[in-house]
Structure 1
Amino acid sequence: MSWRVRWGLTPEQPPPGEGDQSPPPFPSPSRSASPKTPAVSSSSAAVSVPSGGLFAWVRGRRLGRGGRCVEPARDTFRAMTGLYGAIQPADSMSPITRTHGAVFNLEYSPGGSVLTVACEQTEVLLFDPISSKHIKTLSEAHEDCVNNIRFLDNRLFATCSDDTTIALWDLRKLDTKVCTLHGHTSWVKNIEYDTNTRLLVTSGFDGNVIIWDTNRCTEDGCPHKKFFHTRFLMRMRLTPDCSKMLISTSSGYLLILHDLDLTKSLEVVSYPILRARRTTSNSDLASTVSSSPRSTGSPCHQSESNPLSEKHIVRATQREGGSPRNSLEVLTPEVPGERDRGNCITSLQLHPKGWATLLRCSSNTDDQEWTCVYEFQEGTPLRPVSPRCSLQLTHCIEEANVGRGYIKELCFSPDGRMISSPHGYGIRLLGFDTHCSELVDCLPNEAAPLQEIRSLYSHSDVVLTTKFSPTHCQIASGCLSGRVSLYQPKF
Structure 2
Amino acid sequence: MSSGQPSDNNDPEESRASGVRELDDLFQEEESDDEGCSRPSSPETRRENSRTQVSSRPESAGDGASSSVLRGSSVCDSLFSWLWNRTVRRGPFVDPARDNFRTMTRLYSSMSPAADSVNLSTQTHGAVFNLEYSPDGSVLTVACEQTEVLLFDPVSSRHIKTLVEAHEDCVNNIRFLDNRLFATCSDDTTIALWDLRKLNSKVCSLHGHASWVKNIEYDTHTRLLVTSGFDGNVITWDTNRFTEDGCPHKKFFHTRYLMRMRLTPDCSKMLISTSSGYLLILHDLDLTQSLEVGSYRILRARRPPLSTEGSSTGSRTAGSRHGNDSKAHPHREGLSPRNSLEVLTPEIPGERDRGNCITSLQLHPKGWATLLRCSSNMDDQEWTCVYEFQEGAPPRPPVSPRCSLRLTHYIEEANVGRGYIKELCFSPDGRLICSPYGYGVRLLAFDERCGELADCMPARTALLREVRSVFSHSDVVLTSKFSPTHCQLASGCLSGRVALYQPHF
**How high is the TM-score relative to the length of structure 2?**
0.78
Residue of structure 2 in register with 1:249 after alignment: 274
Give the match's secondary structure for 1:263. coil
CA shift at 1:80, angstroms? 1.2
CA distance in 2 between counterparts of 1:416 and 1:405 reads 28
**2:280 maps to 1:266:** no
Give the match's secondary structure for 1:158. strand
Give the match's secondary structure for 1:118. strand
Give the match's secondary structure for 2:366. coil
**2:98 maps to 1:74:** yes
**2:496 maps to 1:482:** yes
CA distance in 2 between counterparts of 1:8 and 1:278 reads 24
1:280-312, Cα deviation, whole Å (9 max, x unpaired): 2342799xxxxxxxxxxxxxxxxxxxxxxxxxx
Aligned match of 2:219 in 184, 190, 194? 194
**2:351 maps to 1:353:** no
| Unaligned residue ranges in structure 1 (runs of 5+) | 16-32, 41-65, 287-318
CA shift at 1:215, angstroms? 0.3
Q: Pairwise mapping of residues 170-209 of structure 1 onto structure 2 (< 5 A)?
A: 170-209=195-234
CA shift at 1:236, angstroms? 0.1
**2:166 maps to 1:164:** no
CA shift at 1:14, angstroms? 10
1:14-57, Cα deviation, whole Å (9 max, x unpaired): 99xxxxxxxxxxxxxxxxx99749999xxxxxxxxxxxxxxxxx
Residue of structure 1 in register with 2:34 after alignment: none
Aligned match of 2:120 in 78, 94, 118? 94
Superposed CA RMSD: 2.6
CA distance in 2 between counterparts of 1:328 and 1:382 reads 14
Residue of structure 1 in register with 2:7 after alignment: 9
CA distance in 2 between counterparts of 1:391 and 1:34 reads 22
Residue of structure 1 in register with 2:142 after alignment: 117
CA gap of 1:215–1:381, structure 2 versus 1, over 3 A, is closer
CA distance in 1 between counterparts of 2:364 and 2:47 reads 23
Do the aligned partners of 2:303 and 2:346 also contact (CA within 8 Å) in 1?
A: yes
CA shift at 1:70, angstroms? 1.7
Give the match's secondary structure for 2:454. helix
Aligned AA (2:347): E
Do the aligned partners of 2:335 and 2:394 also contact (CA within 8 Å) in 1?
A: no
Aligned AA (2:273): S
| Unaligned residue ranges in structure 2 (runs of 5+) | 13-44, 53-89, 312-331
**2:160 maps to 1:146:** no
CA shift at 1:74, angstroms? 2.0
CA distance in 1 between counterparts of 2:100 and 2:190 reads 42
Aligned AA (1:359): L
CA distance in 2 between counterparts of 1:152 and 1:68 reads 31
CA shift at 1:9, angstroms? 3.3
- Which has the larger share of helix? 2
**How high is the TM-score relative to the length of structure 1?**
0.80
Length, aligned pairs only: 413
**2:400 maps to 1:402:** no
CA distance in 1 between counterparts of 2:347 and 2:154 reads 38
Do the aligned partners of 2:123 and 2:495 also contact (CA within 8 Å) in 1?
A: no
Higher RCO (C-alpha under 8 Å, 6+ residues apart): 2
1:97-148, Cα deviation, whole Å (9 max, x unpaired): 7421000000000000000000101010100100111111111000000000
Aligned AA (2:133): Y
CA distance in 2 between counterparts of 1:405 and 1:323 reads 39
CA gap of 1:483–1:111, structure 2 versus 1, over 3 A, is same
Residue of structure 1 in register with 2:475 after alignment: 461
Aligned AA (2:129): F
Give the match's secondary structure for 1:82. helix
Residue of structure 2 in register with 1:85 after alignment: 109
Residue of structure 2 in register with 1:328 after alignment: 341
CA distance in 1 between counterparts of 2:342 and 2:456 reads 27
Give the match's secondary structure for 2:492. strand
- Percent identical: 79
